Structure 1
Amino acid sequence: MGRPAKKLEGIGARLAVLREGRIRKEFAKDLGVPDSTLGNYERGDRLPDWSFLETLHQRKGVNLNWLLSGVGEIFSASETGSSVVDDNVVRLPRFDARASAGKGLIPVNELPVGEVAFARDFLRNLGASPDHCYVLEARGDSMWPTIPDGALLIADSSKKVVDDGRIYHFNVMDRALIKRARWTIDGKLFLTSDNVAAGYAPEEFTADRVDELQVSGRIMFTGHAPLPVR
């Protein structure tokens, strides 16, 4: 059985819990990262990359649901990281691509580069369909503060209907975007940014531009380091 989770705010604080009683330098070496990198993660100066998160899961049996959200138990199996069969676990494809919360980056490649385990109940509680979810990373500041630069995202590819006010992963020609959808009374769709102060202009889509727009999925979860004060 996993240890009961401590209710802590932020990935960095939860990482510190994982190495309780151990010197940080030794723990970092065990995980294959520099001590300075682990220090940045624990302070919240940087967000852990997916390679580091998968190492925690595979070697230490860390429940990534708990690490990212603070919900659930610390360990998904035993504290030694040994695997167990769990029908409640689904392995989401992870794409080595960064959908831009800005002006747009290269769309997600069709082939995933890895998998990340999540509890089906966790995804269902988000309102997502577990078997249609995938993981990617946001880059840019246009969706600040809702989605900061480097945030880890879970999207649901089964949710293709674009509802007003929700956030989606769009592919627009050769760009991948994370934007909020806004509909007008006359049926025009605008891809908008939450960071109004940055001056990002909404992108308009009318009937003659429909073939340029692909809805990859609705954003269901955002995990990120503690936000700095602006």
Structure 2
Amino acid sequence: METDENQQNQTEGPILPEGIGRFNERLKELIGQESMRAFGRKVGISDTTIRKYLTGETEPTLSRLAAIAVACDISVEWLVTGEGTKEPWPEDMYWGGPATAAQESPCVCKDEFDEEYALIEGYHVAVSTGHGAFGEGAEVTRRLAFRKRWLNYRGFRPEQLKVVFARGDSMEPTIKDNDSLLVNLASTNPIDGKIFVVRLGDQLYAKRIQKRWDGGIELISDNKEYHTQAIPASELEHLQVIGQVVWIGKDIS
């Protein structure tokens, strides 16, 4: 009886035991000569978690499998089971997204997916100590699925949202290194106490903004080991507010 129960539990996860080869072997094939960190950034998963997948310590959820498949432009079926072609699914099928339960079918009609989810463009751009800008001239490296119902509730328009990642510890504990940040480009008017992505010179920062009585602005780090940066009113022309951070995605290793 116990053996039957164990066998049943083994078949409930997204990685099917009857697949040809093991998932970690297919993952290793996808990584190829890339570094663990570079591959993790591409698929939106921390390198620590990728290592756990490779050692078999843990298995990815369906949403993580979807992220890997989309980023690597491969078939979800091949990634999950090892069967079938490695090429992506036909255009009339699409992966179910982060909310898909493990016991459900791994694919749904694309029309159903498009009706429930919006894909937000993600860029390999770091904020806090990073350089450059996302948007014009920047390459889209991934897309994250968000429920349209949530976006509508928050008053967001998908085309005005972008995803970047955090670098450094200046905003800990709120934002940790390598967290994904959803930025609303439509919100560029400073709001006291809110976190914004700003460009100062050629660097991007994610900081809390506080307006000063003299017309200047303070850029505040949640990590108190970092000093508050005061921008006087006379120098605000060098400060560009890119957008407000409205969601933080964390990877729990």
Q: Which moved more, 1:204-213 or 1:121-130?
A: 121-130
How far, CA to CA, are the matches of 1:82 and 1:214 in structure 2?
41
Counterpart for residue 27 of structure 1: 23
Cα deviation for residue 120 of structure 1 reads: 1.9
Contact 2:69–2:75 (Cα < 8 Å) also in 1: no
2:131 maps to amino acid: I
Q: Partners of 1:150 and 1:22 in 2: how far apart? A: 35
1:113 aligned onto 2:160:
no
If asked which structure has higher relative contact order (CA below 8 Å, sep 6+), I would say: 1
Secondary structure at 1:87 match in 2 = helix
> What TM-score, normalized to structure 2?
0.63
- For residues 201 and 146 of structure 2, the distance between their equivalents in structure 1, rounded to whole angstroms, comes to 31
Q: Give the RMSD, CA atoms, in angstroms.
A: 3.5
Alpha-carbon shift at residue 207 of structure 1 (Å): 1.6
Counterpart in the other structure of 2:213: 185
| Residue equivalent to 1:4 | none
User: Distance in 2 between the 1:81 and 1:188 partners?
Assistant: 51
Say whether residues 1:157 and 2:185 are aligned partners: yes
Q: Note the C-alpha offset of 1:191.
A: 0.6
Cα pair distance change 1:127/1:201, threshold 3 Å: farther
TM-score using structure 1 length: 0.69
Write the distance in 2 (CA, Å) between the matches of 1:185 and 1:20. Answer: 61
CA contact (8 A) 2:184 2:245 kept: yes
Residue 153 to residue 59, structure 1, CA distance change in 2 (3 Å): farther
CA distance in 2 between partners of 1:202 and 1:43 (Å): 42
In structure 2, the residue matched to 1:136 is 164
Instruction: Show CA shifts across 1:56-78 (max 9, x none).
Output: 89743251xx3xxxxx3348x95
Q: Which runs of 5+ in 1 are unaligned?
A: 1-15, 67-71
- Give 1:161 deviation, angstroms: 0.9
| Counterpart AA for 2:122 | R
Distance 1:78 1:17, change over 3 A: closer
CA contact (8 A) 1:168 1:181 kept: yes
Compared with structure 1, are the counterparts of its residues 185 and 19 closer, same or farther at alpha carbon in structure 2 (3 Å cutoff)? farther
Kept in 2, the 8 Å contact 1:58–1:81? The answer is no
Corresponding residue of 2:232: 206
Give 2:41's aligned residue: none
Q: 1:215 aligns with which of 232, 241, 245?
A: 241
**Shift of residue 51, structure 1, vs aligned partner:** 6.8
Ranges in structure 2 where 5+ consecutive residues have no aligned partner: 1-11, 33-49, 77-94
8 Å contact 1:126–1:221 — kept in the other structure? no
Q: Closer, same or farther in 2 for the Cα pair 1:181/1:58, shift >3 Å?
A: farther
Deviations 1:161-217 (A, max 9, x none): 110000011111100111111123333311110011xx2111111221111111111
1:36 corresponding residue in structure 2: 51
Evaluate the alpha carbon distance shift between residue 122 and residue 19 of structure 1 in structure 2; reply closer, same or farther with a 3 A threshold: farther
Q: Tell me: CA distance 1:153–1:17, structure 2 relative to 1, closer, same or farther (3 Å).
A: farther
Count of aligned pairs = 194
CA distance in 1, matches of 2:52, 2:121: 25
Amino acid at match of 1:189: I
CA–CA distance in structure 2, aligned partners of residues 26 and 202 of structure 1: 50
Q: How far is the alpha carbon of 1:43 from its aligned partner?
A: 9.0
Distance apart, 1:22 and its partner CA: 7.5
Q: How far 1:20 sits from its partner (Å)?
A: 6.8
Deviation at residue 89 of structure 1 after TM alignment: 2.9
| Identity across the alignment (%) | 22
Aligned to 1:154, the other structure's residue is in SS state strand
Residue identity opposite 1:27 in structure 2: F
Counterpart CA distance in 2 for 1:78 and 1:96 is 31
